[in-house]
Amino acid sequence: MPDEYAEFKEQPGDDPDDVLFNTLYGVRTIQLNRPKKYNALTGSMIRKIIPRLKEYQKSALASIIIIGGAGPKAFCAGGDVSHLANDIATNGDRGRSASKAYFGLEYKLNHFIATYPKPYVAYLDGITMGGGVGLSIHGPIRIATENTVFAMPETGIGFFPDVGGSFFLPRLEGQLGTYLALTSSTLKGVQALYAGIATHYIDSSVLSNLTARLSELVFKDYSDLRSRLQIIDRTIEEFNTGLPSNDSKPQLAGNLRIAIDHCFQYDTVEAIISALEKERDGAATPPQVKEWAAQTLQALSEKSPTSLKVTLRQMRVGETWNTSDTFRREYHIATQFIQRPDFVTGVSARLGHKPPIKPQWQPPDLASVTTEDVDSFFTIEEGEEGLSLLSEGEDYEEYRFLRDLGLPREEHVEEMVKSGRGLGRKELVDAMVDAKEGKIGVREKVEEVVGRKCGEDGEGKMIWKG
């Protein structure tokens, strides 16, 4: 193995078959192969994936990288935190050092994916949580299926939404990212597309045919990454089998979405809880929002108080971080968490017991988590060892190709409304569908945004209310 791969050489105990690699013409497939463990990500797997990605990067024969998971249940259910927590509980500082090394490897892989110069496609077919999100969200093309179950469940195990959560969650529309980060709420199937987690939605039954079709694509030598991704985007739409009949419209919509953006706009967890209580108890609150507020309050009450406060700070400062800042800062935050009791306590209670039990958090309540406590997660001392990245100097402030791929965002609808074209509701929606060449989900997403954010003038033309 070349010197540049020395950091990723096989270690004693590494499973030789936990990742499978295959070649199909110009496609290189990476299959996570721990189906009995829901393809939970280990150091052994990372040490295989990084060298392969480096090789594919250099190979003129490798045109498209596709990553997926073995088995019918999961793409990747997260990092193997049970192993890490057990190692800390058993071996103390030695276990913490091993956990720190694991997170360093994982974040290097995440950043490498974020800056990868070739088309990288992720099949989110099944459970996609934590570390599985890190393997997919930073790539330009992320395909959800009817089996997709997305979540960032870290606040429930005494940790924080890492693997680049500081970058992608604050950049979701409105306060969706803060809501998902604090509550660990799930998005299923096409809802991952509407939220911006996925860029495409197709039925799982056609994934193998899609892989074969993508392997037939031939790109011109001079075509850049954007043009190659646009070709892949159109190719995926060839496999459009329509939206699921029982779940075709956005669920986080209308009054519920308004309540999410209102309640989760605040900069303290206490203020968020207060806003939720007002929604729950308000006489004029719609029944659906009342029920949601009550369920959300219950969910927050079960999370680590330290995790909640650190995560909220993370959401507010992460929107200013670039990709390198994100993973270097998260590396520091992760090392702080593994020094504290909540990580081992939370993982043991939630994942180590059947059925799960209630963790005994330390500190036990929000009032006991001070501003100084939270500050320590974000203060990097002079001389502290930082995280070296595999693609140094390659950074961006927003996701590349955001406008090219995925569904239109609220700001894109706003631009169209304010363009001076004087469009009525149907004309506006049709124009945005046409601009995306009829892409699946565009009509439903735009109609939801228009219903929530727009009004009509005296002539029936759309105006932006915000």
Q: Which residues are catalytic?
A: 79, 131, 154, 162
The DSSP code for 70 is S
Q: Output the six-digit token pair for 52.
A: 């392969």
Distance from C-alpha of 428 to C-alpha of 431, rounded to nearest angstrom: 5
Distance from C-alpha of 332 to C-alpha of 231, rounded to nearest angstrom: 39
Q: Output the six-digit token pair for 185.
A: 């709420």
Which residue, among 321, 329, 264, has the nearest Cα to 297 in the 3D structure? 264
Which residue, among 104, 112, 105, 33, has the nearest Cα to 65 in the 3D structure? 112
Strand, helix or coil for residue 3: helix
Q: Output the six-digit token pair for 237.
A: 């739409």
Partnered with residue 123 across adjacent β-strands are: 143
Which residue, among 257, 323, 294, 311, has the nearest Cα to 114 in the 3D structure? 323
85: enclosing H helix or E strand:
helix 81-91
Spatial CB neighbours of 157, under 8 Å, sequence gap ≥ 6: 81, 304, 343, 346, 347, 350, 351
- Evaluate the CA torsion angle 335, 340, 344, 349 in order and state its sign: negative
- Listing DSSP states for 96-135 in one string gives HHHHHHHHHHHHHHHHHHHT-SS-EEEEE-SEEETHHHHT
**Is 272 within 8 Å of 368 (Cβ atoms)?**
no
| Angle in degrees, CA 173, 179, 180, rounded to 5 | 90
Strand, helix or coil for residue 266: coil
Strand, helix or coil for residue 441: coil
**Is 449 within 8 Å of 194 (Cβ atoms)?**
no
Which residue, among 132, 104, 143, has the nearest Cα to 32 in the 3D structure? 132
**Is 316 within 8 Å of 271 (Cβ atoms)?**
no
Which one-letter amino acid corresponds to residue 375? Answer: D
The DSSP code for 185 is -
**Is 67 within 8 Å of 137 (Cβ atoms)?**
no
Q: Give the Å distances, CA to CA, from 11 to 294, 391, 454.
A: 48, 24, 57
Spatial CB neighbours of 60, under 8 Å, sequence gap ≥ 6: none
